[in-house]
A and B are shown apart, each in its own frame.
Chain A
C-alpha cells in the first residue's frame, strides 16, 4: 500500500523545537475540516549511517502501511564540516480500504552534522510520542559501549539490529550480549532463520544427537542457528559454515534439514515482525551468547 504525501517541510540548521509546530501545520487541513487523523502505535527511531541510506529507505517504504508510527530517521554525518541539524518533515497518508478516510503518519528525517551526532538521544527524546513504545533500528554495527549508543539505548524499549550487517560475528555477539539486560533486543538475522529453525524443530528428538551442524548461508545466520541448537539442546555442537547470500542448506549431523516451504520474507516483513514484539526474546539472547563461543570451521 503506497503512501500519499500530504505535505512536507524542509529546513537547514534547524532547532528541534521547530519540528512539532511544522508537523501540526502539515496535519492541519486548509479546507476547514478537522486535522488529519493521526494513528500511531509506536515511535520508530532509525539510525542510518550513509552507507545504509538506500536500504533503509526501501525497508521503510514497505513498512509504513503496516505499522503507523512516528518515524524519526537520524542520518549521522560526522564529517559534514559544520555542526548543525538539517530536517525534512513529512506527513504521509494511508488510505483506508473501502473508506474515503485515511490516516496520517509522520516522518521526521534529521541529518545530524558534525558534533550534532554525538548525543542522538538528546535530539530524539523531545520528539517521542507520549506513552507509546519506542523502537530503535540501528543500521550497521553499533559501538555497543559508545556513549551516544548507550544514551539512546536508555530511551528505547527495543533495540533492533541486523547482525548480518556486522563483519565480526561471532565475536560481536559477546558485546551485544552486554546490552540484553538493558533493552529488549531483536536481530533481523535471527528472525530470518525462523523458517529454518521451525524446519529443524521437526527433526526433534533425533536432532538432539547431532554433534555437528553444516550451514550454507550468511555467517550471522549460521552462527545463530548453531548457537540456538547449542543453547536449546545443551549440546557441544560444532559449526561448519560455507558462505552464501541466503540460507541455502543445513545439515544436522548426517540429516539434512528440509528446506522450508514458501517465499523468504522481505526486509520489511522481517522488521515488521520485530516491531510486533515488546518483550525480551530470551531464546535469541541465549543463542547469541552461545554463538560467540563457537569456533568457526570451514565446511
Chain B
C-alpha cells in the first residue's frame, strides 16, 4: 500500500479507452509528501516569529528534503533590508533556534531562493513590488504561479492586505493563505474578517493557524483515542469523573505589553489553544481523518459547550513573586503595562459539553502566566473504583486512575494506577506508567510549524481552524467577556509563581475536587 504519495509523481493516467489507470509502480513505495513548486510569501517577515520559528522550520523541511525543488521565500516587512541582509538575519535565526545541525549544503540552495521586499503592508505600490518579485521567481525558480501567503501581521491590516492579494490573483497556479492569530478580537470582528476573506478566497484556501494543533502530542490525542480499543469505550461520562486541562506558562509577557494589554489570557490562549484542546479531547470519532471530517466533529463540541456561569469563570492577574527562585515583577510593573491595568493574565473555568457523551462531566480549564512551571497537560480523571475489597484500605484512600496527556514539556502519556506495596497486608500505592515520546520514538519531535507549513503547502487543512470553529470559539469568549464587564475584581490577585487566585481553587473545591499540582 502506498502510504504517502508525492503530488509530483504521476499517480494516474488515462488509458486509450479513457479509463483512469493507477501507476502500478507506486504501490509499496514509502514516499515523502512533497508539495508542488511554490513561493512562500511571509508578510511581517522582520518579526520574531519569522526568525525564531518560521525559518528554522523551513530549514528543517529543507534538511529533510521535504520542500519542493522549485521553491522560493519572499519576506515582506516595513524594515529596510536588502536580500542579503534578510538572508543573513534568517541564517542567524536558523543557527540559533533550529533543531537540526546547520549545514551549508542545505542552507545555500535554500537561501538562493530567498528574497526580501521592504514595503508598507497593503499599499498598492508595495503589493505591485511583491507581485513583480513573485513573477521573477516564477521564471527564475520555476514556482509556477503557486503562492502560499503567510500573514504574520497586525490584525488591523489583514483585511486590507487580503483585498490587495485577492485583486492581484494571477490566473496561473493556486493560492493559499496562512493566517496567524489573533483572528479577530470578538465574534463580530471574526465574522467580518471571515466575510472579507471569503470575498476573495475560498474556505479551502484559508489556513488559520493554531500552532498547538501542529504539536505531535495534540495529534496524539486522536491516536490515543481512536487507535486503541481500550480507551474509547470508557471515554465518556459513565467512567470519567472530570477532565482538567492546564496551559501554564512560567514566563511573563516578555516585552509584549502592547499585544497582551489588548488580548489578555482569554484571547491569547483560551479562545484558541485551550478550546482546541477541549474540542480534540471531547470530539466524537470522525469517519476519517480528512480536514472536514475532523473539523465537523470539533465544531460540534464547540457548539455543545454551554456558557459557563460567572461564578465558574475566574480571572486573575499576577503580582510580584518568585518563579524558579528569582523574584519577578507583577504584571502592572511590566514595561508598557498600565499601572492600573485590568488585563487578566490568568483564567480558569468550569466548562460543560452538553451532549450524550459528556453531560454533567465538568471540564476544568486554566491558563495563566507566571505560574510555577511551564506545563500543558490534559488530565482525564476516571471515577473511583466503586468498592475496594481490601480491609486495610479505606475507600477514599484509593486514588482514582488518571490518564495524563503531556502536551509540553516531557511530551508523552502517563497513567496513574493503584498497585500493591510489596510486603504483608494490602497497602495500595499510586504508581505511574509513563510513555515518553522522546524515550520511545527517539527521533526529534518536529516543531509544530514544520508540520503546519508543509500541510498548508500540500493543501491539507486538517490541522487548521475552520471559519465556523473560530466563530464558535469567539461566541463563547464574548459571553464570558460580557459578564466580566459587570464587575471589577481586585487585581493583582495571585503572586507570580503560584497556581492562580484562590477563587480558582474554590471552583473545584465546591465540587469536592482539586486542581492537579504536579
A-side interface residues toward B, CB under 8 Å?
A: 1, 37, 39, 41, 65-68, 94, 96-99, 101, 103, 194, 197-198, 200-202, 204-205, 207, 228-229, 232-233, 261-262, 273, 281-284
Contact A201 B9, CB 8 Å, known A261-B65, A261-B69: yes
Shortest CB–CB separation between residue A257 and chain B, in angstroms? 11
Query: Would you call B65 and A97 a contact (CB within 8 A)?
Result: no
List A contacts of B444 (CB < 8 A): 97
Count B interface residues, CB 8 Å. Answer: 27
**What distance in Å separates the Cβ of A41 from its nearest Cβ neighbour in chain B?**
6
Checking B10, B25, B440 against A197 with a beta-carbon cut-off of 8 angstroms, the contacting residue is: B25
Residue B21 at the chain A interface, CB threshold 8 Å: yes
A39 to B31, CA, bound (A): 29
- How near does chain A come to B212, taking the closest CB pair, in angstroms? 19
Assess whether A204 is in contact with B436, with CB atoms less than 8 Å apart: no
Residue contact B443 to A201, C-beta cutoff 8 Å: no
A-B contact pairs, 7 of them (CB 8 A): A96-B438, A99-B409, A194-B30, A198-B29, A204-B13, A205-B13, A283-B28
CB distance from A199 to the nearest CB of B (A): 10
Given contacts A1-B442, A68-B442, 11 further A-B contacts (CB under 8 A): A41-B440, A68-B439, A96-B438, A96-B439, A98-B438, A197-B29, A198-B29, A205-B21, A205-B23, A262-B65, A273-B30
Give complex CA distance A198, B24 in Å.
Answer: 12
**Does B442 contact A207, Cβ atoms closer than 8 Å?**
no
Q: How far, in angstroms, from A233 to B27 measured CA to CA in the complex?
A: 12
A232 touches B27 (CB 8 A): yes
Is the pair A68, B440 in contact by a Cβ cutoff of 8 Å?
Answer: yes
| Alpha-carbon distance A97/B444, docked complex (angstroms) | 8
Is B25 a contact partner of A97 (Cβ separation < 8 A)?
no
Please name all residues of chain B whose beta carbon is closer than 8 Å to the beta carbon of A198 when the two chains form the complex: 6, 9, 29, 31
Q: How far is the CA of A262 from the CA of B24 in the complex (A)?
A: 24
A67 lies within 8 A of B25 (CB): no
Contact across chains for B440 and A97 when beta carbons are under 8 A apart: no
Contacting A at CB under 8 A, from B67-95, are: 69
A207 contacts across to B, CB distance below 8 A: 25
- Would you call B448 an interface residue if the criterion is a C-beta within 8 Å of the partner chain's C-beta atoms? no
CB distance from A193 to the nearest CB of B (A): 10
Shortest CB–CB separation between residue B250 and chain A, in angstroms?
15
Is B293 engaged at the interface, CB distance under 8 Å to the other chain?
no
B29: nearest chain-A partner, CB-CB: A198
Q: Judge whether B10 and A39 touch: CB under 8 Å.
A: no
Task: Kindly report which residue of chain A lies nearest to residue B28, judged by CB atoms.
Answer: A283
**Nearest-CB distance from B518 to chain A (Å)?**
15
Is B434 close to A, CB under 8 A? yes
Q: Given the interface contacts A201-B29, A205-B21, does A99 sit within 8 Å of B8 by beta carbon?
A: no
Beyond A66-B442, A261-B69, whether A37 also contacts B434 by CB under 8 A is yes
Q: Once the chains are docked, how many angstroms separate the CA of A273 from the CA of B409?
A: 27
Given contacts A197-B29, A261-B69, contact A97 B439 (CB under 8 A): no
Q: Is the CB of B23 within 8 A of A66?
A: no
**Contact indicator A283/B27 (Cβ below 8 Å):** yes
A96 and B443 contact, CB distance less than 8 A: no
B410 at the interface (CB under 8 A from A): yes
Given contacts A39-B436, A39-B440, A232-B27, contact A99 B410 (CB under 8 A): yes
A200, B438: Cβ atoms under 8 Å? Answer: no
Q: How far is the CB of B412 from chain A (nearest CB, A)?
A: 10
Contact call B409/A204, Cβ cutoff below 8 A: no
Q: What 1/0 flags go to B240-277 for Cβ under 8 Å of A? A: 00000000000000000000000000000000000000
B221 at interface, CB cutoff 8 A? no
Contact assessment for A97 and B28 in the assembled complex, using a CB-CB cutoff below 8 Å: no
B27 and A103 form a contact (CB under 8 A): no
With an 8 A cutoff between CB atoms, is B26 at the interface? Answer: yes
| A233 CB contacts on chain B under 8 angstroms | 24-25
Question: Which residue of chain A has the shortest Cβ distance to B440 in the bound complex?
Answer: A39
Q: How far is the CB of B20 from chain A (nearest CB, A)?
A: 12
Contacts of B438 on A, CB cut-off 8 Å?
96-99
Residues of B close to A37: CB separation below 8 A: 434, 436, 439
Question: In the bound complex, do residue A201 and residue B23 qualify as a contact, i.e. CB atoms below 8 Å apart?
Answer: yes
Contact call B13/A39, Cβ cutoff below 8 A? no
CB nearest to A208 among chain B residues: B24
Which of chain B's residues has its CB closest to A234's CB? Answer: B24
- Distance from B291 Cβ to chain A, minimum over Cβ atoms (Å): 26
Q: Contact at A96–B30, with CB atoms within 8 Å?
A: no
In angstroms, Cα B410 to Cα A234, docked, is 51
Chain A residues contacting B30 (CB-CB under 8 Å) are: 194, 273
A202 with B442: CB separation less than 8 A:
no
Mark contacts of B401-444 with chain A using CB atoms, 8 A cut-off: 1 yes-contact digit, 0 otherwise: 00000000110000000000000000000000010101110111
- Please determine whether B442 and A67 come into contact, CB atoms closer than 8 angstroms: yes
Closest beta carbon of chain B to A182's beta carbon, Å: 20
Cβ-defined partner of B25 (8 Å) among A96, A101, A232, A281: A232
Q: How far is the CB of B515 from chain A (nearest CB, A)?
A: 24
The smallest beta-carbon distance between A138 and chain B, in angstroms, is: 22
Contact with A along B323-354 (1 / 0, CB 8 A): 00000000000000000000000000000000
A196 to chain B, nearest CB (A): 11
Q: Are A201 and B65 in contact (CB under 8 A)?
A: no
- Which residues of chain A are within 8 angstroms of B29 by Cβ–Cβ distance? 194, 197-198, 201
Whether A201 lies near B26 (C-beta < 8 A) is yes
Nearest neighbor of B30 in chain A, beta-carbon distance = A194
Is B436 within 8 A of A103, CB to CB?
yes
Interface centre among B436, B438, B442 (most CB of A within 10 A): B442
CA gap between A200 and B26 in the complex, in Å: 10
Residues of A within 8 A of B21 (CB): 205
Residues of A within 8 A of B440 (CB): 39, 41, 68, 103
What 1/0 flags go to B18-44 for Cβ under 8 Å of A?
Answer: 000101111111110000000000000
User: What are the 3 closest A-B residue pairs judged by CB atoms, nearest first?
Assistant: A283-B28, A201-B25, A103-B439
Which residues of B have CB within 8 Å of A282? 28
Give complex CA distance A181, B453 in Å.
42
CB-CB under 8 A from A205, the residues of chain B are 10, 13, 21, 23
Closest chain-A Cβ to B227's Cβ sits at a distance in Å of 14
Taking a contact as CB atoms under 8 Å apart, the answer to whether A98 and B442 are in contact is no
Question: Roughly how many angstroms separate A194 CA and B26 CA in the complex, as a whole number?
Answer: 11
Which B residues are CB-close (under 8 A) to A281? 28
B10 interface neighbour in A41, A67, A97, A202, Cβ under 8 Å:
A202
List the B side residues contacting A41 at CB < 8 Å: 440
Residues on B with C-beta less than 8 A from A200 are 25
Q: Which of B54-73 contact A (CB under 8 A)?
A: 65, 69
Q: How far is the CB of B15 from chain A (nearest CB, A)?
A: 9
Residues B434 and A204 in contact, CB atoms below 8 Å apart: no
Report how far A98 CA is from B30 CA in the complex, Å.
31
Residues of B within 8 A of A283 (CB): 27-28
Q: How far is the CA of A262 from the CA of B65 in the complex (A)?
A: 8
Listed residue (B69, B436, B439) with the most chain A CB atoms within 10 angstroms of its CB: B439
Query: From A197, which residue of chain B is reached at the shortest CB distance?
Result: B29
Most buried by B among A1, A39, A67, A68: A39
Q: B28 touches which one: A202, A229, A284 (CB < 8 A)? A: A284
Give CA–CA (A63, B167) in the complex, Å: 53
What are the residues of chain B within 8 A of A103 when measuring CB–CB? 436, 439-440
CB distance from A187 to the nearest CB of B (A): 12
- Contacting A at CB under 8 A, from B1-16, are 6, 8-10, 13
